[in-house]
Chain A
Amino acid sequence: MSVELAADGIKEVRPPLTDADAESLKAGDRVRITGVLYTARDAAHARLLPLIDAGQPLPIDVRGQIIYYTGPSPARPGDVVGSIGPTTGGRMDKFTPKLLALGLKGTMGKGARSQAVRDAFKQYKGVYLGAIGGAGAVLSRFVKKLEVVAYEDLGTEAIRRIEVENFPAIVVNDCHGGDLYEDGVRAYARPSEGRD
């Protein structure tokens, strides 16, 4: 298993992941990721799509992997990376079901996903993780190695292979239909005074 519950109640996630690993993650679970993540956002996804549609090989093998939606800021000399927080996942909705069909297990970003993507998580046993948006400086601490593996001309939008240690995230959408955002609103919404 690549997902194990640690003593502090946080789930340790070590890609690559299997269907069973994905099934063991539930919306609201806090996780720590150690291992390899691939970064890709709008422009890289746009280049992957025609390859997928033509049945051609992709520059990265997505089977079992997690794609992190981010475009890091440049590293200062001596640093691995600059700021590296998540971008909005919903912009990748158009591409995600096709990548899940190829064996991608995880996506990580921030913000809500479409119903079609949430259905695809169920169908293909995938998960969507939330990293804290706007906490890119703190998140850079957990990145130990970084290399561009495709589309270097895209600059910040290139596909990078990063190695992370104890990268913190939370399960937003699981493969059982769970949604942290909906649960959160249900738990904390309060009627306005003099209304409702």
Chain B
Amino acid sequence: MTMREIHVSAITDAVKKLCMEANYDLEPDMLRAFDRALKSERSAAGRQVLEILKDNAQMAKTKKIPYCQDTGFVVAFVELGQDVHVAGGLLPDAIDEGVRQGYTEGYLRASIVKSPFDRKNTGDNTPAVIHLDVVPGANLKVMVMAKGGGCENRSKYKMLTPADGVDGVKEWILECVRTAGPDACPPLIVGVGVGGTFEKAAILSKKALLRELGSTNPDPLLDAIEKELLDRANRLGIGPQGYGGDTTAFGIHVLTYPCHITSLPVAVTIECHAHRHKEVTL
């Protein structure tokens, strides 16, 4: 087996394009979610918000200005085929260079500070947060999410006990939706990671967001949990923007991983309706 070579410049170009497109152009599953919600939403204020968000998506796409002024922290999920050789530099540097070019040339906001304490803006939205998986094959897949800060601030983590069980997990997820409330820009998408270790659950909760909205979880048990929780979340009454209504969440997606006999870790990433992500396979 010979190695396939992918030059860093191709990775940089791809990431640059993904960052811009993610911010201007919502995915079709999001647009369908707005339309579905408009049919069921009882609140007039809620329907008005949904209509404005549809206009916003259209305007962002046609004028190429970001859907939200918070153009996010770039979270890149990378699947690197083990028969790929990245040539000409380092993979993380190539991704950051793509972010730098995309955010600067795309009129996207620089929202990252270099240190959490001195809080000086890096000026170009770098660095990205990169999650790398090695997979079979000779392709390189890059999934870029522009993750908003307001909703990220409402993400939570809890170490439950095995005795808390599935009911404990469900109650905790609903509690996260309730406390996110209007702050996190509902309608929300809720990513849940259950199992693994502290950090594994958190990464899964973010990756869970990438699944298509309205799709079925391939695990029937998880699918049932997702559907029950979505129904219950939408009975909380929070509604679009928290103005009251039936559309508090568009989707709740759960991923699991094996876990230790002592543990039941649950991470919940809260995502707003400005759910911006794009992917490419090189």
Contacts and interface: CB of A to CB of B under 8 A. Distances in A.
Interface of A: 43, 70-76, 79, 82-85, 87-88, 90, 110-112, 130, 132-138, 140-141, 154-157, 170, 180-181, 183-193
A76 B65 contact: yes
Given A133-B272, A192-B232, A185 B241 contact: no
B64 to A, nearest CB: 8
Contacts of B185: 110, 133-134
Contact of B56 (A70, A138, A186): A138
A85 B68 contact: yes
Interface residues of B, number: 51
A187 B244 CA distance: 7
Contacts, number: 168
A79 B65 contact: yes
Contacts of A87: 70, 150
Contacts of A137: 56, 59-60, 63, 65-68
Best-surrounded residue of B42, B63, B123, B245 (most CB of chain A within 10 A):
B63
Contacts of A135: 52-53, 55-56, 68
A189 B60 CA distance: 32
Given A130-B243, A188-B43, A188-B246, A71 B231 contact: no
B241 A130 contact: yes
Given A71-B69, A110-B183, A140-B65, A134 B53 contact: yes
A186 B108 CA distance: 38
- In the complex, the 9 A-B pairs of residues with the closest C-beta atoms, listed nearest first: A184-B244, A189-B237, A111-B183, A188-B237, A83-B69, A133-B185, A73-B109, A136-B69, A185-B237
B181 A82 contact: no
A88 B180 CA distance: 11
